[in-house]
């Protein structure tokens, strides 16, 4: 079993720790915010409880996780470092530099960035060959898929060892041939978000209707049949003809999102402010619905 040091104990850090600990690995979590570190065990407990993990298994997971306020102590003799700090290039650079000052040159560093370039994060590293993009999905202890990508300077041996380790957890690890912002999943996901915002900007429908359409139609199919298999299934000639007629009408926006920008300017950030694309003032159960939905769609093991 390996010893992991996770830097950043927020949403993803605690989920990744739970995923690793569930497979029997030992994990030290570090975060500069004492409040975040202080309730890490409570958050792991809630996440595991919500996903139906029995009490004995929850206790075993907790035994494998420790919260360590000092970065040096957290990373002492670890086999792998996982960075799960905020999605800002300057923070990633600062953290990777701090980590490199503490661990030997051959210790792998996995970045959980969602959309930043691995090559960009590696810029300025003393040993960029050990940085690998290892992108987990929230909730990390539940979602099987993990995307793995090399930066331009990454040594393939580090990519292979990340792939093998992630696979040994019972996860589905996929490898990208090269580093692209957003890996595969977030590129596809945000292509859809961009088009949904375009429909709002064009006054075609309201936000509730978009969710109704996605959840009631192709959303039901996606966990069973992916878009490439579906393209073959309906026929590539039909796929080609749909694209020829539809592609010219799809959004190509790169920096203009009027509906979204107006909401943000007015201080509406979504769930946390009570209003976003939807109204969040009443009671809502999105977290439990999300977990239930994911569990329903998980392949049987």
Ligand X SMILES: NC(=O)c1ccc[n+]([C@@H]2O[C@H](COP(=O)([O-])OP(=O)(O)OC[C@H]3O[C@@H](n4cnc5c(N)ncnc54)[C@H](O)[C@@H]3O)[C@@H](O)[C@H]2O)c1
Question: Which residues here bind ligand X, judged by CB under 6 A?
Answer: 7-13, 31-33, 36, 84-87, 91, 94-95, 112-114, 136-138
How far apart are alpha carbons 181 and 120 in whole angstroms? 10
> How would DSSP label each residue in 159-193?
HHHHHHHHHHTT-EEEE-SS--TTTTHHHHHHHHH
Q: How far is the CB of 17 from ligand X (least distance, A)?
A: 11
| CB closer to ligand X, 82 vs 210 | 82
Q: How far is the CB of 116 from ligand X (least distance, A)?
A: 7
| CB closer to ligand X, 49 vs 94 | 94
| CB closer to ligand X, 56 vs 90 | 90
DSSP helix/strand/coil, 146: strand
| CB closer to ligand X, 43 vs 198 | 43
Q: How far is the CB of 242 from ligand X (least distance, A)?
A: 31
Q: How far is the CB of 286 from ligand X (least distance, A)?
A: 13
DSSP helix/strand/coil, 270: strand
* Residue of this chain nearest to ligand X (CB atom): 10
- DSSP state for residue 32 in the 8-state scheme: S
How far apart are alpha carbons 222 and 2 in whole angstroms? 34
Residue 135 phi/psi, 5-degree rounding, is -100, 110
Q: How far is the CB of 35 from ligand X (least distance, A)?
A: 9
| CB closer to ligand X, 17 vs 165 | 17
| Cα 300 off chain centre by | 22
């Amino acid at each position: 079993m390996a010893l992991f040091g996770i830097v950043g104990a927020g949403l993803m850090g605690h989920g990744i720790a739970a995923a690793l600990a569930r497979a029997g690995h030992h994990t030290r979590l570090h975060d500069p915010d004492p409040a975040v570190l202080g309730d890490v065990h409570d958050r792991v407990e809630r996440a595991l409880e919500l996903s139906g993990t029995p009490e004995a298994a929850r206790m075993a997971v907790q035994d494998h996780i420790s919260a360590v306020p000092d970065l040096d102590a957290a990373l002492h003799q670890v086999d792998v470092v996982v960075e799960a700090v905020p999605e800002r290039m300057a923070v990633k650079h600062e953290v990777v530099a701090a980590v490199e000052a503490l661990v030997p040159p051959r210790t792998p560093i996995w970045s959980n960035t969602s959309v930043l370039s691995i090559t960009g994060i590696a810029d300025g590293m003393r040993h960029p060959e050990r940085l690998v993009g290892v992108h987990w999905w929230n909730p990390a202890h539940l979602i099987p898929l993990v995307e793995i990508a090399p930066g331009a300077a990454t040594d393939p041996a580090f990519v292979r060892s990340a792939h093998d380790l992630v696979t040994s957890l019972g996860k589905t690890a996929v490898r990208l041939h090269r580093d692209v912002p957003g890996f595969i999943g977030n590129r596809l996901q945000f292509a859809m978000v961009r088009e949904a915002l375009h429909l709002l900007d064009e006054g075609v429908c309201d936000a509730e209707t978009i969710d109704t359409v996605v959840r009631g139609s192709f959303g039901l199919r996606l966990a069973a049949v992916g878009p490439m298999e579906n393209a073959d299934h309906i026929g590539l000639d039909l796929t080609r003809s749909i694209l020829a007629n539809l592609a010219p009408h799809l959004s190509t926006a790169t920096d203009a999102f009027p509906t979204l920008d107006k909401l943000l300017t007015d201080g509406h950030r979504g769930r946390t402010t009570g209003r976003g694309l939807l109204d969040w003032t009443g009671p809502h159960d999105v977290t439990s619905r999300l977990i239930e939905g994911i569990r329903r769609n998980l392949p049987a093991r």
